[in-house]
Amino acid sequence: MDQDNKKRFMERIEEKSENLPWYVVEYIDKRKRILSPASLLNYCHDYIIFFDWLIAEGFVKGTRKDVPLEVLEKLTRQQVEDFLSFLEFKLHNSDLTVNRKLSALKSLFHYLQNIAETSELEPYLYRNVMAKMELNNIKEDQETIANRMEGKILRGDEYELFRQFVAYDYGVQNQENKKLYNFHQKNCERDTAIVSLILGSGLRLSEVIGLDVDDIDFKKFTVRVIRKGNKEQFVYFSEQAMLDLKEYIAIRTERYQLEKNFKALFVAAPMGPKGTTRRLTARSVEKLVEKYATAFGKPALSVHKLRHSFATRYQMENNDIPKLRRQLGHTSVQTTMIYTHLTNTELQDAVKKMDQREKDE
């Protein structure tokens, strides 16, 4: 993540923190060296939901900033269960999302009990109810996840067909609609470069939008990214991605009316009275992929599924989990192992052969 983008994240974190209790602000400040700005911002959102719930349930009168430590210390397991039920049934959060928010609270309460201390060297909390709470048991195994993912990714010829669709066919398909056609003509090189880069590297959405022009090394076919945990890594990308990136960069400055020192790689068209150009946002990339995917006839395809598509293809052609794990930036090898299920066609072929033998007999 470049310094400008990081600065924007930190400004939003400070803005959210202003309305949280002092001990939460202290915790967030202490975690800035460890957690990425994106993770810290997510934590802020999670804490806002939690403290708003405490106020709505009558645990304290006033604002979020008024919630004292004593309220947290006296929370019971049942009350926390009620909050988790609120997340699931009122906010319609999935088990994974509930787990993430519970993990954020566990981290905060752990800090208050085991790390923070008063001037008298006493902990902020003596009792930590969150330590008693268990995360949801996600029942899906890797093969179930792989099977569910199977129909939502690109396979075989679809990789190049989708790239070609973004680059050319979408415009041809919408020639009669001047607005759509002109918008595609203006942005087709950029959009193709984005799709091609993800399909040719497996980068995360946050990593793509955080790229600067100087992060690309065309000689080594690598891109510099800041991965989870603020770790710098140089990730390889495909030759096709390189060609599409070069084509985009060749028109980027003039097409988007950029100053020569404008760092962001992927940018939005100038908007507003002053015609200000800005870095493309995550939501903008999500929307453009959704647009092309729907028109392509594969509406379930998303930015994340493009990453999965790369990983599936890589594992199919290389069968090397350790290298794929590094390429994707996975912390756990178990996450990467999903792709062994996606690419394991031998079992299916064996079953088909058994069926054929039965018919022959």
Q: Is pLDDT of 166 > 90?
A: yes
Q: What is the pLDDT of residues 232-262, one digit of tens each?
A: 888 888 899 999 999 999 999 999 988 888 8
pLDDT of residue 291: 94
What is the Cα–Cα distance from 88 to 90, expressed in whole angstroms? 6
What is the enclosing helix (H) or strand (E) of 234? strand 231-236
pLDDT of residue 108: 95
What is the Cα–Cα distance from 62 to 206, expressed in whole angstroms? 36
**DSSP state letter for 232:** E
Q: Is pLDDT of 347 > 60?
A: no
> What is the pLDDT averaged over residues 79-104?
90
Q: Pick 21 or 339 by higher pLDDT.
A: 21
pLDDT of residue 227: 77
What is the Cα–Cα distance from 211 to 190, expressed in whole angstroms? 13
pTM over 0.85, yes/no: no
What is the Cα–Cα distance from 21 to 17, expressed in whole angstroms? 8
Domain ranges of the chain: 3-139, 143-346
pLDDT of residue 213: 93
Average pLDDT, the chain: 83
Confidence of residue 145 (pLDDT cuts 50, 70, 90): very low
Q: How is domain 143-346 classified at the architecture level of CATH?
A: Orthogonal Bundle (1.10)
pLDDT of residue 144: 47
Q: How far is CA 104 from CA 28, 31, 89, 133, 190, in A?
A: 11, 12, 19, 12, 36
Q: 3-state DSSP call for residue 267?
A: strand
- pLDDT > 70: what percent of the chain? 83
Q: Is pLDDT of 195 > 60?
A: yes
Active site residues: 204, 228, 304, 307, 330, 339
What is the Cα–Cα distance from 155 to 149, expressed in whole angstroms? 12
What is the enclosing helix (H) or strand (E) of 307? helix 303-318
